[in-house]
Copies of this chain bind each other. A is one copy, B any other.
Amino acid sequence: MSVTVIPVRLGARSHEILVGEGLLPSAWIHRLRDVSLSTRFFVVADRKLARLARAAARFLGARCAGLALLPGGEATKDLPVIRWLWAEAARRCLDRRTVVVVIGGGVLGDAVGFFSATYLRGLRVVQAPTTLMAQVDSAIGGKTGINLPVGKNLVGAFHQPSLVIADPGVLATLPTREFRAGLAEVVKYGVIADAALFLRLERHAAAVLARDPSELRRIIVRCAAIKARVISLDEREMRGLRATLNFGHTIGHALEAATRYGALMHGEAVALGIVAATGLSQRFAGLPARDAERIVALIARLGLPVRLPSSARRPLDKILAALRLDKKATGGRPRFVLAQKIGRVITDVPVPLAAIRAALRELDCAPRRPRPAFRG
């Protein structure tokens, strides 16, 4: 089994991202540092992955302090789930040396990451993401959090994992819609930092959609390496660098909020957000028309929406109101990450309200299929 190791350099919080088929359920343990034979593990997994989680627990044997299965879905990122995990942790007498192992998608990683960040003021956590979205993005970088009734991700903590295990083998059985949603983040990495990755996606879209193992692995390694570099240089989003990862997310988050996280998957909302940000980039960041066409065409080629599906259409004002609540908004005014060309973005760009309205109208009202001019 070949494993690619991507270091995340963060001083005392340095760790590795492993990418390789067959790492789950057990091959990762030999790469985890600072564990002794007395270290115990608390395995928390998506209920749908019960078989994989049980195999991991069996492998850990007496060192498994417990196995908890949770339902997937956004409802997991909710305070009652965290409270339940805290109580379980006390019941199972987890101590400060216990390592939490999370096996699941982005939602589970965020929620269990937050539990790990807050129990006994922080337990070590191994993130084993099992969706493309989580493998290329959400499991990396230490952002954890839960939702409040009034807003998504309003509560959370920065808590770096001690190890990230991305096993592309588990993606084979991912539902099509969920797999494609993850590709939205891959497109994002291409636009913000890697023109070669973008070109590769264009040229090998068919292999990607067919989940060709070597193609997937290549993509995951590349995305993880970009994110690892960004995190190493700007862990807490103090400089502009980490903010580049939000390309497409400002409007994406607002669409999710306005549709109450029902009609759109996160990745689909990001895809739409990228389309909107691409239009704004042409007007306010000098993105060439040819690059804009390529971005929208690739999103469509990967089976992602470029217009709001009718089930997700909402009044413009509702979406604008959600934009003002954005975590990165300052004084109620959202700031945008915009592309200058494929592979390079600028951050913190103020955009006039009228232009945001126009961009949303483009998403909302046009026919669903991309216009021929965007076909590239």
Which A residues are within 8 Å of any B CB, using their own CB?
A: 38, 79, 83, 86-87, 89-91, 93, 95-97, 117-122, 143, 145, 148-151, 154-158, 325, 327-332
Contacts and interface: CB of A to CB of B under 8 A. Distances in A.
A83 B80 CA distance: 11
B86 A327 contact: no
B158 A87 contact: no
A249 to B, nearest CB: 15
Given A86-B148, A148-B86, A154 B330 contact: no
Contacts of A79: 79, 83
Contact of A331 (B83, B95, B145, B158): B95
A375 to B, nearest CB: 41
A344 to B, nearest CB: 26
B90 A151 contact: yes
A86 to B, nearest CB: 6
A143 B155 contact: no
Nearest to A158: B121
A120 B158 CA distance: 10
B121 A157 contact: yes
Nearest to A11: B11
Given A79-B79, A86-B148, A86-B154, 8 more contacts: A90-B150, A93-B325, A95-B331, A96-B328, A119-B155, A120-B156, A121-B143, A121-B157
A118 B331 contact: no
Contacts of A156: 118, 120-121
A9 to B, nearest CB: 16
A190 B316 CA distance: 65
30 contacts: A79-B79, A79-B83, A86-B148, A86-B154, A86-B155, A87-B148, A87-B149, A87-B150, A89-B154, A90-B148, A90-B150, A90-B151, A91-B150, A93-B325, A93-B332, A95-B327, A95-B329, A95-B330, A95-B331, A118-B155, A118-B156, A119-B154, A119-B155, A120-B154, A120-B156, A121-B156, A121-B157, A121-B158, A122-B157, A122-B158
A101 to B, nearest CB: 20
A120 B237 CA distance: 12
Contacts of A143: 121
A151 B119 CA distance: 12
A87 to B, nearest CB: 7
A97 B332 CA distance: 12
A38 B150 contact: no
A329 B149 CA distance: 37
